[in-house]
C-alpha cells in the first residue's frame, strides 16, 4: 500500500469525467482502492474519489463514523446509521425525494476551506463492490452527503461550484471563528434581557 498524492483544485484530473471500471475484480483496482484507503486515513478524510489521487476512474471509498451518522444508535449500514469503510465502483445515485439540505462540507482537494452546500437529503445509490457484487442502498443525512460529494468528483465537479451563497465559503478557521463570535453575541444578548 502507498500514500498517494492528492490532486488539488485547479488540477485538470479534477475537472474530467472519470471512466467506468471495466472489471471491478482486476487486481489493479484492488491495489488502487487499498492505496486510496491509506491515503484517506493519512489525510484524515471520510471519503476519497479516484480522480483525487490522479486516477480518472469511477471509484470512491468512504465511511460514516457514528458521530456523523443521522442516527448514531441505528444499525451499521442502515440509511441513517454509521457505515463501515465502503468502496463503490461505477456508482449511480437517484434522489428519493425533492428535499434539499444545506450543510458544511470540506474536501481533501481544497485543504483548509469549507462551504455550505445544498444536497439531496435522501438518495438511493447503486454500485459494484471489489468482488463484483451489486450494492444497492438508501442513504440520508451525512451518509447521503458524503456519497453525493464523492460521486461529484467522478463527474468533474468540486463542491464549491454548488454553493448558493459564496458568503458561506471560506477558510475553516475563519468560519469557525465567525460562528463562535455569533454564538457569543447571541449569548450576551440573552443575558442582557
Quick one: CA dihedral 181, 118, 111, 63, positive or negative? positive
Write the pLDDT tens digit of every residue in 78-130.
Answer: 878 899 999 999 999 999 999 999 999 999 999 999 999 999 999 999 999 99
Q: What is the CATH number of the domain that holds 86?
A: 3.90.45.10
pLDDT at 185: 81
Domain assignment present for 170: yes
Residue pointed to by grid coordinates 493519512: 42
Catalytic residue among 138, 150, 173, 174: 150
| pLDDT over 90 (residue 64) | yes
| pLDDT over 90 (residue 188) | no
Residue 81 near residue 69 (C-beta atoms within 8 A): yes
Domain that holds residue 55: 12-191
| pLDDT band at 5; cut points 50, 70, 90 | very high
Domain assignment present for 3: no
Lowest mean pLDDT segment, chosen from 13-17, 75-79, 85-89: 75-79
Domain assignment present for 6: no
| pLDDT over 90 (residue 131) | yes
Domain assignment present for 86: yes
> Could you confirm whether 138 is annotated as catalytic?
no
Q: How many domains does the chain have?
A: 1
| pLDDT band at 190; cut points 50, 70, 90 | confident
The edge-to-edge listing of strands for the beta sheet with 134-140 is 47-49, 59-64, 83-95, 122-128, 134-140
Domain assignment present for 137: yes
Domain assignment present for 2: no
Mean pLDDT of 123-146: 97
| pLDDT band at 181; cut points 50, 70, 90 | confident
CA 44 and chain centroid, separation? 12
Amino acid at each position: 500500500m502507498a500514500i498517494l498524492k492528492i490532486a488539488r483544485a485547479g488540477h485538470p484530473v479534477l475537472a474530467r469525467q472519470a471512466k467506468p471500471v471495466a472489471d471491478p475484480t482486476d487486481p489493479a483496482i484492488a491495489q488502487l482502492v487499498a492505496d486510496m484507503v491509506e491515503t484517506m486515513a493519512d489525510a484524515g478524510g471520510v471519503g476519497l474519489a479516484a480522480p483525487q489521487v490522479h486516477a480518472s476512474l469511477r471509484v470512491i471509498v468512504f465511511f460514516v463514523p457514528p458521530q456523523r451518522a443521522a442516527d448514531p444508535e441505528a444499525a451499521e449500514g442502515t440509511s441513517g446509521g454509521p457505515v463501515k469503510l465502503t468502496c463503490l465502483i461505477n456508482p449511480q445515485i437517484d434522489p428519493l425525494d425533492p428535499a434539499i439540505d444545506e450543510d458544511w462540507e470540506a474536501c481533501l482537494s481544497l485543504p483548509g476551506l469549507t462551504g455550505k452546500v445544498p444536497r439531496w437529503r435522501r438518495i438511493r445509490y447503486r454500485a459494484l463492490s471489489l468482488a463484483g457484487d451489486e450494492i444497492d442502498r438508501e442513504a440520508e443525512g451525512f451518509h447521503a452527503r458524503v456519497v453525493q460529494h464523492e460521486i461529484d468528483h467522478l463527474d468533474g465537479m468540486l463542491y464549491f461550484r454548488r454553493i448558493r451563497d459564496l458568503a458561506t465559503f471560506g477558510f475553516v478557521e475563519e468560519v469557525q471563528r465567525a460562528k463562535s463570535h455569533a454564538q457569543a453575541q447571541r449569548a450576551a444578548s440573552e443575558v442582557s434581557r
